[in-house]
Amino acid sequence: MWKYLIPLVVLASPVAAQDGPFSEGSEARSWNLAWEEPARFEATVVDMLCEVAGDCASECRTGRQLGLLRAADGVLTYPNKNNQGIFTGAAVDLAPFCGLEVEVDGLMIEDEYVGATNVYLVQMIREVGAEEWVTANGWTTAWAEEFPEAAAQEGRWYRNDPRVLALIEADGYLGTGETWEEAWEITR
C-alpha cells in the first residue's frame, strides 16, 4: 500500500523553492523538494571533523567530509549532496577548495520535522573573486578513475560499484539475506 502512496506524496508535496535568507541572487535549479530554499552565499570550505571536533591532524584529507562556514553569520552548513542526479555527495567537489573562501549556489534544506537545518545541496562553486563557476558534478569522474574496470561496464555506477556488489552479494538487496528473486517477489 505504502509503496503506491510514496510517489503520490512526493508529487503532492508543498510548492518547492521557498525563498530563504540567502536566496537573493541565487540561480539554483529547483529539485522540487518540499523544504528547499535557493541559497547563494560566500563561505570558507572547512574540514568537518576539524571544525566540529577539533581533529585537524589530517585536515582535508581525501575521504573526510567537508563543510561550508558561511561568511555572513559564521553558521556551519553541511553539503550533503552535489549537483548530480542521485546517490552522490559533495566532498569530492569541494575538496579542491578546502581552506579557501568560495561562493556557492545551491539548495538549502530546512525541515524541522526531521531535524534538518543548514543542510545543503551544492550546485555551483567558485573561489571568491573568480569569474567562472565550477559545477559540482565531479563525483562520477573521480569514481571512474578509482574503479576503471567497473566504469568500463554498461550501466550506472551504482549497479557496477564493486563495494556495493559485494555487499549485495553477501546480504541481498534488503540486507537480510534474501536472494534477488526472493527480494523481488516479496517487494512487489
Partner 1 sequence: MRNAVAAALVCVAGPALADGEDITIRGEVIDTWCYFSGVMGGPDAVTGTAHHTCAIWCSAGGIPVGLLAEDGTVYMILALGGSDQSAGGAAQLELASHDITVSGQVFARDGLNYLVVADVVEDHGITNINHTDFGVVPGFAIPNPEG
Write down the residue that cell numbers 565531479 correspond to.
138
Q: For residues 27 and 171, which CB has a smaller minimum distance to partner 1 in the complex? A: 171
Q: For residue 125, state whether it binds partner 1 (rule: CB under 8 A).
A: no
Q: CA quadruple 80, 154, 183, 165: dihedral positive or negative? A: negative
Q: Which of residues 134-153 bind partner 1 (CB under 8 A)?
A: 139
* Interface size with partner 1, residues (CB under 8 A): 67
Paired strand residues for 47: 66
Q: For residue 97, state whether it binds partner 1 (rule: CB under 8 A).
A: no
Nine cell digits for residue 84: 548530480
The C-alpha torsion from 55 through 117 and 66 to 17, rounded to 10°, is -170
Among 22, 37, 45, 81, binds partner 1 (CB under 8 A): 81
Nearest-angstrom CA–CA distance, 38 and 94: 19
How do beta strands 66-70 and 116-127 pair?
unpaired
Nearest-angstrom CA–CA distance, 178 and 185: 10
Interface segment toward partner 1; rule CB under 8 A; list 19-27, 97-105, 118-126, 129-137: 118-126
Residues of this chain that bind partner 1 (CB under 8 A): 1-3, 6, 9-10, 13, 31, 33-36, 48-49, 51-53, 55, 58, 61, 63-66, 75-78, 80-81, 86-92, 109, 111-119, 121, 139, 158-159, 161, 163-164, 167-168, 173-176, 180-181, 183-184, 186-188
